[in-house]
Structure 1
Amino acid sequence: MSVTSGTKRKEGGFSETVKVIFHALIIALVIRTFLFQPFNIPSGSMKATLLVGDYLFVSKYSYGYSQYSLPLSPPLFSGRIPGGMTPERGDVVVFRLPKDTSTDYIKRVIGLPGDKIQVIDGVVNINGVPIKRERAPDFIENEEGVREQPVKRWKETLPNGVSYYTLDLVDNGFADNTQVYTVPPGNYFMMGDNRDNSTDSRFLSQVGYVPFENIVGKAQIIFFSVYEGERAWQFWRWPVSVRWNRLFTIVR
């Protein structure tokens, strides 16, 4: 009798464990699909707002949901549901690259539908008016293995009052003077904060205008960060590999 009872308890314990794991997976899937999805930063195009090795949560609900909100992006519907919530200038967003919808990009919203955007001598002009741009203290890389070299930094303020910092690696860069871009209806104009090292909407053949439907969500908070070249899963190196001062930083 004792053997039989013990076997039943083991079987019951195993089935309960399976149920707990299954429920946890369902909850994780629901959170990832409808609330928050984690992303990591693989390039320096948004430096110094976002650094290589940052891990952040992107809110899926901020602008409603499109097919790209769902795992594997099945074309079950077009547009966004519910409607009414739209990106604002200055939002940092993750979107699917229009030229390759299997690729995620993260940039800052600069132009709204109908806007005319032009960069003149490195200054962004919106509808013919240059945005406010002030010189800020230089950005200096201070990570191990990176040569400390000051980089010119600017504080930009958009017409809606949103301020952020951009880097200016070189004077008269290849995209410091552009044509006038007229943002089509239902599309947005994206730019990286690292202006001389960002492939963004200034390059029509590579990124161009981003349809609202392609936006996955809004970047909200950095929940983890490791120095460039480190691996997040190597927990035994965390004392020296983690950028502790960036944890739980709000993305602005």
Structure 2
Amino acid sequence: MTHSSMKSFRDTVEAVVVALILAFIIRAFIVQAFKIPSGSMLETLQIGDHLLVTKFAYDVRLPSTIWLDTTDGKVLAKVGDPERGDIIVFKYPNDESVDFIKRVIGLPGETLEIRNKVVYINGQPIEEPYTRHTKADRRPVRDDFGPVKIPEGEYFCMGDNREGSHDSRFWGTVKRSKIVGKALVIYWSWGSLTDIRLGRIGTTFN
């Protein structure tokens, strides 16, 4: 191998290593990609939407693979608090190897109740223009729930597709430490090779 080819090979290896390091840093600290696998967030999120989720909306933390003393990662700085209406990705409480995406509905310390599909916070109904109802029947837990007081440091999360979502009504609240990040933007969306939804690309979430 000539000197020039050796140099070219070394440059290529260095470029690959730098790219891998940057990809690790971006995924660990900044953004992470997620695909929507179910209809629990219809109509806001469609099956086949691909999202970027910002990981520093609430906390800046070391990845758990670096900070071995905790499965959640050590918090380096608190940036903000989840707000009602935020769409978040979190570790499913019953199986933390699975990521769920839902909307924050109830905040720490609040009392939440559902009466005939309407959510009440501290006794007052809240406006939820994003919800989707597909069934007129009325069932306990799904449509009538609580009242419950949300523990400090935890959040009550629900899917927008209320009759088609497995959420905090069934498995409880989400701990802040289990929140992965906040939905940022749809970077790709398709239902199939012949159903590429260009109009959804670039959709952002406050």
TM-score (norm 1): 0.75
Aligned residue among 178, 184, 188 for 2:155: 188
Q: Deviations over 1:154-211 (max 9, x none)?
A: xx1xxxxxxx4111010134311112121001100000000000011011xxx31111
Report the counterpart of residue 201 of structure 1 in structure 2.
168
Q: 1:225 to 1:129 in 2, by over 3 A?
A: same
CA distance in 2, matches of 1:197, 1:103: 18
**Alpha carbons of 1:84 and 1:21: their partners in 2 closer, same or farther (altered >3 Å)?**
closer
Q: 1:49 to 1:73 in 2, by over 3 A?
A: farther
Residue number in structure 1 paired with 2:3: 8
For the 8 Å contact 1:173–1:196, the answer to whether it is kept is: no
Structure 1 gaps, min length 5:
1-5, 133-155, 157-163, 231-236
- The separation in 1 between residues aligned to 2:49 and 2:66, in whole angstroms, is 24
Distance (Å, rounded) in 2 between the aligned partners of 1:52 and 1:73: 34
Deviation at 1:242, TM superposition (A): 1.2
Write the letter of the residue equivalent to 2:178. Answer: N
Query: Aligned to 2:59, what secondary structure does the other structure show?
Result: coil
1:136 is aligned to: none
Runs of 4+ displaced beyond 4 Å: 69-74, 76-79
SS at match of 2:96: strand
**Conserved 8 A contact 1:66-1:216:** no
**CA spacing shift, 1:197–1:64, aligned 2, 3 Å:** same
**Are residues 1:43 and 2:10 paired?**
no
Corresponding residue for 1:161? none
> Hey, what's the Cα distance between the residues in 2 that align with 1:88 and 1:217?
13
Question: In the aligned structure 1, how far is the partner of 2:66 from the partner of 2:136?
Answer: 42
| 1:73 positional shift | 8.0
Show the counterpart of 2:189.
225
Structure 2 partner of 1:143: none
Assess, with a 3 A threshold, how the Cα gap between structure 1 residues 246 and 70 changes in structure 2: closer, same or farther.
farther
Report the TM-score when normalising by structure 2. Answer: 0.91
Q: Quick one: percent identity of the two aligned structures?
A: 41
| Aligned-pair CA distance for 1:83 | 2.3
Pairing 1:215–2:169 present: no
Aligned length: 203
Preserved CA contact (<8 Å) 1:63 1:85: yes
1:92-103 paired onto structure 2 within 5 Å = 92-103=87-98
- Are the structure 2 counterparts of residues 126 and 71 from structure 1 closer, same or farther at C-alpha, using a change threshold of 3 Å? same
1:125-152 deviation digits (Å, cap 9, x = unpaired): 01111113xxxxxxxxxxxxxxxxxxxx
| Conserved? CA contact 1:66–1:213, under 8 Å | no
Name the Cα RMSD after superposition: 2.0
In 2, are the aligned partners of 1:124 and 1:130 still within 8 Å (CA)?
A: yes
Q: Match for 2:132: what amino acid?
A: L
2:143 matched residue in structure 1: 176
The residue correspondences of 1:13-92 to structure 2 (distance < 5 A) are: 13-66=8-61, 69-70=63-64, 74-76=68-70, 80-83=75-78, 85-92=80-87
Taking a change above 3 Å as real, the CA distance of residues 71 and 225 of structure 1, as seen in their structure-2 partners, is farther
Q: Residues 67 and 73 of structure 2 are in contact (CA less than 8 Å); yes or no, is this contact kept in structure 1?
A: no
1:248 maps to 2:202? yes
Which of 78, 84, 109 is matched with 1:114 structurally?
A: 109
